[in-house]
Amino acid sequence: MKGEGNGMAGNVLVVHGGGPTAVINASLYGVIMEAKESGVIDHVYGAIGGSEAVLKEQFLDLMKYPQEKLELLLTTPATAIGSSRYALEEEDYQAMGAIFKKHDIRYVLLNGGNGTMDTCGKIYRACKDAGVCVVGIPKTIDNDIAITDHTPGYGSAARYIAETTAEVGVDVKALPIHVCIIEAMGRNAGWITAASALARKKPGDAPHLIYLPEHPFNEEEFLEDVKRLYDQLGGVVVVASEGLKKENGEPIVPPIFKSGRSVYYGDVSAYLAELVIKNLGIKARSEKPGLCGRASIALQSGLDRDEAVLAGREALKAAMRGEGGTMVGFIREETPDGSYKMHTRMIPIEEVMLYERTLPGEYINERGNDVTQAFTDWCKPLIGSEIRDFIDFQELYREEKGEQA
């Protein structure tokens, strides 16, 4: 049975994979809304618990819930249907065709990062001859999926690290007696760490130093930078990536544990704080927001949420057009006035399966302790509204005294 130019009638299955974000549920909302409006989709099933749930046939029909419940997806952190890092074997992929047929599932949408896109590609290959269309929806706070300009989830994580850094910066400035080192997530990609630069409103604002995994970390230069700024400011805020590496490519702090692609990083911020204390004799502390940064709805980017909804809608549209083996990508457009504008296009899944996109050299300064203006120009639209302003009477006092002198 054919829909009216909108694809074959049947059911949809949405699977979440890997670490969640503040907007992954917004993409799920987009899928459900598009399905309702299509007129040919009977059920949108959520795989309850990630890829393993497909094999166990743990499916819940999400279209049966009232609109007021579904709208909560837009402001619900993590994933409402659950996720996993379950490693599928070849026999698992081969078994899925029969499961999809049993539940009349014609469209399978996998929402995740580059590891999930690898799974997406393998399910597509295994099921493409069975009349099942498989499409990927990008999702990762790390922003490390290839080809696409950025991924849903990143804008909110970027906003969180920028807002957090700005607040910590005000605290350190008010009591300028120590060095505060904030550790950001992101594995081998420094996109989140770099976004802390958006905390700055004027010269001297935090972060004062930014260290990224794409540039070899030099302990001697780090201590020189911290000492110089401490002598100048009295309080210093450093933002460092969890994936910092030495010149030889080894992590500066050995990982605690590895399991497949999952790496449990050592405490980089604590290590750097100890370096400062032992070598410079300066009070230092470490902060590691971790999951707080990817779960925060309070600091969710409105643009990020809207684009996540769009990604869900576009994925189902593409599946219904028969464009399997693809992922929704965001393409930024050049505009005469430099304003933000983007459009979506479907990217062949083979181009993004397990490819890792890191921060390009043009976004990192020569010494490797900050980002460039090119990065902040690229990143700023993605966090949505402006970072909040604060009042500093100490600064105003100094300005007034300077004028009187």
pLDDT at position 261 is 60
For the chain, give the number of residues. 405
pLDDT at position 1 is 26
Residue 274 to residue 237: CA distance in whole angstroms:
15
The kind and range of the H/E element at 269 are helix 268-280
Q: Do domains 10-152+298-351 and 158-293+359-383 have the same CATH topology?
A: yes
* Fold topology of 10-152+298-351: Rossmann fold (3.40.50)
Catalytic residue status for 142: yes
pLDDT at position 260 is 63
pLDDT at position 8 is 77
Report the candidate in 222, 219, 234 with the shortest Cα–Cα distance to residue 282: 234
Please give the CATH number for the structural domain made up of 158-293+359-383.
3.40.50.460
pLDDT at position 279 is 98
Per-domain boundaries in the chain: 10-152+298-351, 158-293+359-383
Query: What does each of the 405 residues of the chain score in pLDDT, given as a tens digit?
Result: 233 335 678 999 999 999 999 999 999 999 999 999 999 999 999 999 999 999 999 999 999 999 999 999 999 999 999 999 888 999 999 999 999 999 999 999 999 999 999 999 999 999 989 999 999 999 999 999 999 999 999 999 999 999 999 999 999 999 999 999 999 999 899 999 999 999 999 999 999 999 999 999 999 999 999 999 999 999 999 999 999 999 999 999 988 777 666 667 789 999 999 999 999 999 999 999 989 999 999 999 999 999 999 999 999 999 999 999 999 999 999 999 989 999 999 999 999 997 899 999 999 999 999 999 999 999 999 999 999 999 999 999 999 987 664
pLDDT at position 84 is 92
Which residues fall within 8 angstroms of residue 324, CB to CB, at 6 or more apart? 124, 128, 132, 133, 134, 135
| Contact status, residue 354 vs residue 144, Cβ threshold 8 Å | no
| Contact status, residue 22 vs residue 156, Cβ threshold 8 Å | yes
Q: Which two tokens stand for residue 66?
A: 């009232």
Among residues 61, 92, 118, 142, which one is catalytic? Answer: 142
